[in-house]
Amino acid sequence: MNGIQYRRLKPVKGLSDRQIFHFKPHELPCRKYLPMLKSVLFRCYAVFLFSLAVSTGVAQEKNTPDTVKAGIYITSIHDIDFKQNEYAINLWLWLKYRNKDFDFAQNLEIPQAKSFSKLYTTIDSTGEEIYMLMKLQCLMKDSWKISNFPFDKQMLRLSFENSQYDSKSLVFTEDTVGNHYDPRFTLRGWNIDSFSIVNGIKLYETGFGDASLNTPHTEYSNLKVRVGITRDAGGLFWKMFLGMYVAFLISFICFFIHADSIDSRFGLSVGALFAAIGNKYIIDSALPESTTYTLVDTLHGLTLFFIFAMVSFSVYSLSLIKQNNVAKADRMDKIAAVVCMAVYILLNYYFIQNAIG
């Protein structure tokens, strides 16, 4: 009636049935408790969201690896040995971190090192973070690029890792403040032209026997150091190749000996040939084995070819002499001498400049 809805309610203390049936919906007694109910629900929801955020933050914090700030200062690089593929380096290494379990005094690893020793170690744990300083002496193994020897440029590589904690627990970050090597120390015969220190990830396609891993794959954070060096090769080049050029000149002199002196011409050429071959073997004995064609191979091969060419010209001159064409033989010797010298110098200049780059 009149748009009013009626509903049978349970008896309410202090109210008659007639009074109950004549209440409108917005006039029921429970209506006054709705604001309180909404407040309680809102507070419960807020508490739930806060608890969820806290638990998520704790989980993320557990999954975040600890940071190790590391830096180095190189005091010496020496004993670069091309034959043994190694060099020696002395350096200071410092590490700053909070997790005491890292224990770099025992867990420091240098993957490229044949051997290394700690000459000095100090640890300061009085503050919130641990500060460790070490002096290391390392014998490093490396591979050399000898294609342009002796005008070669090399990249010395070394890196540092923690052998017990992978990248899920530990990550390196580099300390780039200040110099990273002593500019006063001299690397005899070399110049340092670049230096870089960066952090990275080293991949190992093995689980190191850990049966809990689904795939044999682990990752370790590392601190990578790269030192670019260029050889000061001016004096070394002449020291190593002088014998080869003298051998060429000895053979070249044959053009100024009369063609009928066949013994003298052939004797000088054969002697020059063996001198060039011997010079190459002396240089190769100081270099590691290589499957590529190097500048040493190119220059010696070029010299041997021209010595053979000059022997061939001598044979042709002798045949002209036997045909009584003495004038033609002399003219041929003069032309061949100019052509051989000019082409030999030009080719040497081209290959050497290409190696210097």
Inside any domain, residue 2: no
Q: Of the residues 215, 232, 249, which one is the last residue of a structural domain?
A: 232
pLDDT band at residue 329, thresholds of 50, 70 and 90? confident
Number of domains in the chain: 3
Q: Are residues 79 and 26 in the same domain?
A: no
If one counts every other C-beta atom within 10 angstroms of the C-beta of residue 274, the result is: 11
Q: Are residues 285 and 330 in the same domain?
A: yes
Rounded to an integer, what distance in angstroms lies between the CA atom of residue 17 and that of residue 112? Answer: 95
Q: What is the pLDDT of residue 59?
A: 39
Question: Could you please report the per-residue DSSP string of 239-271?
Answer: HHHHHHHHHHHHHHGGGGS-TT-HHHHHHHHHH
User: pLDDT > 90: what percent of the chain?
Assistant: 43
Rounded to an integer, what distance in angstroms lies between the CA atom of residue 211 and that of residue 153? Answer: 44
CATH number, position 79: 2.70.170.10
Domain region containing 317: 235-356
Q: Are residues 139 and 175 in the same domain?
A: yes
CATH number, position 344: 1.20.58.390
- Burial label for 72, CB within 10 Å (0-12, 13-18, 19+), is buried
Inside any domain, residue 160: yes
Q: Are residues 316 and 340 in the same domain?
A: yes
Residues with Cβ within 8 Å of 111's Cβ and at least 6 positions away in sequence, in order, are 159, 161, 202, 222
Residue 269 has pLDDT above 60, yes or no: yes
**Average pLDDT of 299-315?**
93
Instruction: Report yes or no on whether pTM surpasses 0.75.
Output: no
Among 332, 261, 333, 269, which Cα is nearest to 306's? 269
Rounded to an integer, what distance in angstroms lies between the CA atom of residue 354 and that of residue 345? Answer: 14
User: What are the tens digits of pLDDT across the range 179-188?
Assistant: 898 877 767 8
**Average pLDDT of 312-330?**
86
Q: Are residues 189 and 334 in the same domain?
A: no
329 or 262, which is more confident: 329
Q: What is the pLDDT of residue 157?
A: 93
Q: Are residues 100 and 224 in the same domain?
A: yes
Q: Of the residues 232, 257, 283, which one is the last residue of a structural domain?
A: 232
Q: What is the pLDDT of residue 49?
A: 65
Q: Are residues 56 and 82 in the same domain?
A: no
Q: Are residues 76 and 132 in the same domain?
A: yes
pLDDT band at residue 167, thresholds of 50, 70 and 90? confident
| Torsion angles phi and psi, residue 12, rounded to 5 | -110, 130
Q: Are residues 29 and 151 in the same domain?
A: no
Q: Are residues 70 and 172 in the same domain?
A: yes
Inside any domain, residue 46: yes
Inside any domain, residue 241: yes
